[in-house]
Amino acid sequence: MAVIPIGPIHPILKEPLRIKLYVEGERVVDAEIEMGYVHRGIEKIMEGKHYLKGIYLSERVCGICSYVHTQTFAECIEHISKIEIPDKARYLRVIACELERIHSHLIASAVYNFAIEHETIGMWLLNAREMVMDLMEMITGNRVNMGFNVVGGVRVDIDREMMDKIYRTLDKFEEDLKNIIEAFETGPMIGLRSKGIGILNYGEIMKTRAVGPVARGSGLPESDWRLRHPTYQELNFKPVWREEGDNFARMMVRHEEVIASVELIRKALELYGECSGGVRKKVHVKGGEGDWRNEAPRGEVLYKITITNDGIIKRIMIRTPTVMNLEAYKYMLKTCPTISDAVSTYASIDPCISCTERTIIVKGANNKEKTIKF
């Protein structure tokens, strides 16, 4: 048995980690994942700080899905303090969250296509993503780390001209994306590299607690936390899912979720147009402990916060989706006939490493291990 190392720096890796593939010939039989290259201790940094600084830091947990972290942080504080935000803010949060989901899924799909050497579709997807990024910048003022959410609502409102531009852009984007999806779905080379590769079955989902498109690609629609969110329930949200459990299914779930997100944005805009009033309210934060979950692009993200009456964070715990999906990746390897398939399967789970690293293991002089979580 030989060991093939991938990383910590490798063309397929968006962020550094090391994957040790144990192979017999070309066949992958096992893997070990080593992390620790981008550990920042962000939870510990938040402790003792005011929640206004905490929400700022939460947006730096992840670069691609930075928005959903501030929404989850804000909604957790609002849940603890029993704060009702204006309807306009609720719908604007949906719009921003779904735009972020679209751009994240398009990056994930582009990276996967590069991994299977279909660079044409990869570039088409990145070009289509620019339309979405322009909308995010127009609504929030920035493309990444938008600073849009505050406890009690959102920072800025939109006007009629912006709404019209969102409608027009979504129409053009949807038309372009459907053509790209058709090319992916019917491409013979894509099928050979994706169908029947990296299969994760229902039992393995239960064992690893995989989330997001990874779970929904293996027949678990209830994994989508938007089903439990009151605003999405009002929008009559229905999850996208497939049963094949392979790389192809995971990518098609993301593609179909992009189309579903476009429809959700249209519904939210329609309801937003019927609202009046402002987009934020003055709040009084109460001390207590609570948790809140949202559906990030990669799956369930959890914030658990203990806060004082003065708004000081005593303790915060953040759980991101890649923690569970990396464990599921090891089970996918049994249906990866080659090393290159193991690499593309890794890309199919859309991992985010910087927002995953929450634990370090310190070895003392006596070689005893001590786990420190932050």
Annotated binding site for Fe cation: 65, 355
Tokens, residue 194: 């994706």
What are the angstrom distances between the C-alpha of 175 and each of 6, 168, 180?
Answer: 38, 11, 9
Nearest to 104 by CA among 243, 244, 291, 301: 301
Quick one: tokens of 213?
């498109």
Binding-site members for Ni(2+) are 65, 352
Whether the ω angle into residue 8 lies within 30 degrees of 0, i.e. cis, is yes
Binding-site residue set: 43, 62, 65, 318, 352, 355
- Contact between residue 306 and residue 289 where contact means Cβ atoms under 8 Å apart: yes
> Which position has the token pair 């929008």?
235
Distance CA 43, CA 166 (A): 36
Bridge-based pairing of strands 313-319 and 359-363 is: unpaired
Residue type for position 284: H
> What 8-state DSSP symbol labels residue 155?
S
Q: Which residues contact 259 (CB under 8 A, 6 or more apart)?
A: 174, 177, 178, 181
265 — phi, psi (to 5°)? -65, -40
Where are the alpha helices (H) located in 82-144, listed in sequence order?
Answer: 87-115, 119-140
Known binding positions for Mg(2+)? 43, 62, 318
- Rounded to 10°, the helix 160-186/247-273 angle is 160
Measured N-to-C along each axis, helices 87-115 and 119-140 cross at an angle, to the nearest 10 degrees, of 160
- Signed CA dihedral, 163, 167, 169, 170: sign only: positive
- Token digits of residue 137: 């910048």
Beta bridge partners of 30: 22
